[in-house]
């Protein structure tokens, strides 16, 4: 049985054995670099990280005191 990404993350959080590690994207590193160098893809120029994640169909994690 192939597990979906969300299922793998939840199983790992429960301490269940997995055949591979779940992968979580660090869009902040990608976004901060390309935003600072004006090399974001044309489609995403002027977009926030949250908007890009939503466009990609990814989940968005909010942290208190952080930027959106």
Residue 68 has pLDDT above 80, yes or no: no
Structure confidence at residue 20 (pLDDT)? 82
Structure confidence at residue 5 (pLDDT)? 76
Q: Which residue has the higher pLDDT, 54 or 43?
A: 43
pTM over 0.85: no
- Buried-exposed string 12-32: b where 16+ CB fall within 10 A, e elsewhere: eeeeeeeeeebeeeeeeeebe
* Mean local confidence (pLDDT), 10-37: 86
* Mean local confidence (pLDDT), 20-28: 77
């Amino acid at each position: 049985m192939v597990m979906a990404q969300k299922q793998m993350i939840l199983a790992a959080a429960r301490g269940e054995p997995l055949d591979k590690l779940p992968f979580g994207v660090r869009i902040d590193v990608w976004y901060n670099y390309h935003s600072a160098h004006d090399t974001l893809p044309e489609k995403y120029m002027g977009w926030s990280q949250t908007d890009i994640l939503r466009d990609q169909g990814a989940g968005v994690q909010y942290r208190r005191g952080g930027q959106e």
